[in-house]
Amino acid sequence: MQTRTLGTGGPQVGPLALGCAGMSDHTTPADEADAVATIHAALAAGVTLLDTADFYGMGHNEDLIRRALRDGDREKAVLSVKFGGLRGPDGAFVGIEGRPAHVKNALAYSLRRLGTDHVDIYRPSRLDPDTPIEDTVGALSELVQAGYVRHVGLSEVGPKTIRRAHAVHPIRDVQIEYSLFSRGPETNGILDTCRELGIGVTAYGVLAHGLLTGAYRQAAEGDPRAHWLPRFRPDNLATNLALVDRLRPLAGAHGISVAQLATAWVMAQSRERGTIVAVLGARRPHRVEEALAAADVALTDADLRAIDEAVPAGAVAGTRYAAPLMALLDSERGPKPSVTPAPAEETGAHHEHV
């Protein structure tokens, strides 16, 4: 697999990363043997960037990765770890924390759970509205100098925050939801800012939480996604599934699935928009194999135009998340006035890298 540098001076990674959230946080529990086999399959195929967070399964995900990394695997893996999502005993999210003391404390526990002396990319999962980003990144810079962290990343932040953070310490990577159904980073300045500053992008949600798999046909009774993802609500779902149907013949022309086409589209954006790595949310080895096939798809300029015509930017019905969750996203504010975050008790869900 061809590699690319994730940000100026950043690590060498493939065009695909493995998002491990679904192995620990999901509507249905993952089989641990399958999860471990998936990590092994990814590393064997050259998918070295493993994305996790200390709050995925409240530490379970980091423990799982430690158990999955066999002798010699730690040197192959590029561990990307998020922190700052606070959870209560019932698993609900209760806040965001970015104070310097928390940054260092959280890393200490992550290192222990991961069984390593350093993480390759360390990043706040969200912008803490009560802590200046300069303070958070300042603490991360100290951890880099001490050798506990190799590179500093960010997640779900807008251009102004990216610039402020980068002025304190070089940012190697910004993690953001980006897909055919989530084109905001193209228009709100995030991709342009990252390209200008030499910062890589890891795009999660490339399959739009399942909508772009091509297999999702109708809402299942009790599907929690309809509660916190407006695009799954009945009044929006028909429009969005019709857009998926428009991609089927384009995928068929390449002999691939809609999911593979959507993944290939994200990876192809690196041509014009700087280094972009697609985060694959997989829980079984065959999903890694399917995504690797997408990495081999060479979409032409004509293909990209046809895809844009089939799913124009802005054609998707519904916002990315429900209003309380949207209020927590610095990345969604752009030039608009800041939104006061919703009370923590209203935000019981978080993003999944699917």
The DSSP element (H or E) to which 267 belongs, if any, is helix 258-268
Active-site annotation holds for 148? no
Q: Show me where the domains of the chain are located.
A: 4-346
Nearest 5°: phi and psi at 277?
A: -110, 130
- For the domain 4-346, what is the CATH superfamily, name and number? NADP-dependent oxidoreductase domain (3.20.20.100)
In 3D, which of 233, 264, 261, 235 has the Cα closest to residue 247? 261
CB 125 within 8 A of CB 83: yes
Nearest 5°: phi and psi at 50?
A: -105, 120
Q: Measured between alpha carbons, how far is 330 from 72 in angstroms, rounded to an integer?
A: 38
Tens digits of pLDDT across the chain (354 residues): 788 999 999 999 999 999 999 999 766 667 889 999 999 999 999 999 999 999 999 999 999 999 999 888 999 999 999 999 999 998 888 999 999 999 999 999 999 999 999 999 999 999 999 999 999 999 999 999 999 999 999 999 999 999 999 999 999 999 999 999 999 999 999 999 999 999 999 999 999 999 999 887 776 666 677 778 999 988 899 999 999 999 999 999 999 999 999 999 999 999 888 899 999 998 899 889 988 988 889 999 999 999 999 999 999 999 999 888 888 899 998 544 333 333 333 333 334 433
The catalytic position among 56, 178, 204, 216 is 56
How much is the pTM? 0.90
